[in-house]
Amino acid sequence: MMPLQQLDELWRDLALGMIGETIDPLDDICGARVVDKSVGTRQLFRLELWFKRKDLSVADELKKRMNEHLGPAAEKACKWEMREH
């Protein structure tokens, strides 16, 4: 479980990385949000990124850049998965 302060910092760093184009220099991310899936005392948050293209290589590159930008704490605390919608 990730402490709320760490989630806030992760979100801040992700937003700044997107704005500064250090995470997504090719402008493939078209949206982001944090979804609160908490129930009772069990906290669960999902961070969603929406891509313009359904390209696994683009998603893998963005995941690599996010881990580099957000640091080792994010890499340990986050589970990354790609889902089509």
Kindly write down the DSSP assignment for every residue of 35-71, as one continuous string: EE--BTTB--EEEEEEESS--HHHHHHHHHHHHHHH-
pLDDT at position 58:
79
Instruction: Name the DSSP class of 26.
Output: T
pLDDT at position 23:
78
Q: For residue 71, give the amino acid letter.
A: G
Local confidence band at 2 (pLDDT 50, 70, 90 cut-offs):
low
Cα–Cα distance between 43 and 73 in angstroms, integer? 18
Q: Are 58 and 49 in contact, with CB atoms under 8 Å apart? A: no
Residue 17 token pair: 């990385």
Q: What is the pTM of this model?
A: 0.67
Local confidence band at 31 (pLDDT 50, 70, 90 cut-offs):
confident
